Chain A
């Protein structure tokens, strides 16, 4: 690795794509996101096909409460914006502010995850809506739980990057890493937009 990759002065306009390694990461990650799209599509398709198969268990409009989903949506949308702020400060070569905004993003991610765990707990204990209650419940927990697992993985990823680069500035070596982690975080939000629309709102409408 060339030494000047680790220098933090005079970053180019797009430091995440200034090196071959950065461009490869960027390209490979979009390839991965294309695959993730199909993976989530198969879970969405399954959910849509099975959402009325309640097997005499609770139906969608009986269990779902829109208040919690609304708060979760706002939290995740805001965390998407805060990670954009982190990338803005990264491009301006301001590692302290970048770390701060990444920290806020992670905090919001934990809030989201906490609400989701509470939600599942509530469904299981108050509505007897368990994983094996019906085809609808299995499809629901698989789809939403898979998204939650993605959030958890993203949190570990971003925290790892923050700790590893805590005492480093922004340079051409770590800029692609931060950039790709933020792309992943936005993708999680993209999936959530469809989850709150297709699962919760359409479930409530019937």
Chain B
């Protein structure tokens, strides 16, 4: 196949633009993760009631992890059906494990 240099170049330019857009999302994601971390530490330092603090910081952690998975680990891109299946099966088993260990095993 003879390469058409012009259209290859255009393609590379297009990819670069796509990658740049992606990178912008990554930086935004990073800023949000830093913000969530600051809120979590702030809540603990402010010594708000534990009944309020603990659920909030766990939710903040879960959201941060979703950011990591979907943006930094690219699960928002297409072709990630199997990774989603794997990681959600893992999370499912993980939740069962934590529940079992905290409620029954070392009661």
Contact = CB atoms under 8 A, between A and B. Distances in A.
Interface of A: 10-14, 17, 26-27, 30-31, 33-38, 40-42, 44-46, 48-50, 66, 70, 73-74, 77, 80-81, 84-85, 88, 91-92, 183, 186-187, 189-190, 193-194, 196-198, 201-202, 204-206
Contacts of A204: 44
Contacts of B16: 92
Contacts of A42: 97, 101
B6 interface: no
Contact of B102 (A10, A48, A66): A48
Given A37-B90, A186-B72, A206-B50, A45 B98 contact: yes
Contacts of B87: 30, 33-34, 37
Given A201-B40, A201-B41, A205-B44, A193 B64 contact: yes
Contacts of B65: 190, 193-194
Contacts of B44: 66, 201, 204-205
Given A13-B15, A30-B82, A206-B50, 9 more contacts: A10-B12, A17-B79, A34-B86, A41-B98, A44-B98, A66-B45, A77-B37, A201-B57, A205-B54
Contacts of A206: 50
B91 A37 contact: yes
A38 B91 CA distance: 7
Secondary structure of the B side of the interface? Answer: helix
Interface in B3-58: 3, 8, 11-12, 15-16, 18-19, 22-23, 26-27, 30, 33-34, 37, 40-41, 44-45, 50, 53-54, 57-58
Given A37-B91, A49-B106, A197-B61, A77 B86 contact: no
B89 to A, nearest CB: 6
A33 B12 CA distance: 32
Contacts of B99: 45
Contacts of A13: 15, 18
B86 A45 contact: no
B90 A33 contact: yes
8 contacts: A37-B91, A42-B101, A66-B45, A73-B37, A84-B23, A194-B61, A205-B53, A205-B54
A42 B94 CA distance: 7
A186 B98 contact: no
A186 B65 CA distance: 10
A85 B45 CA distance: 32
B100 A186 contact: no
Interface in B52-99: 53-54, 57-58, 60-61, 64-65, 68-69, 72-73, 77, 79, 82-83, 86-87, 89-91, 93-95, 97-99
B75 to A, nearest CB: 9
B68 A189 contact: yes
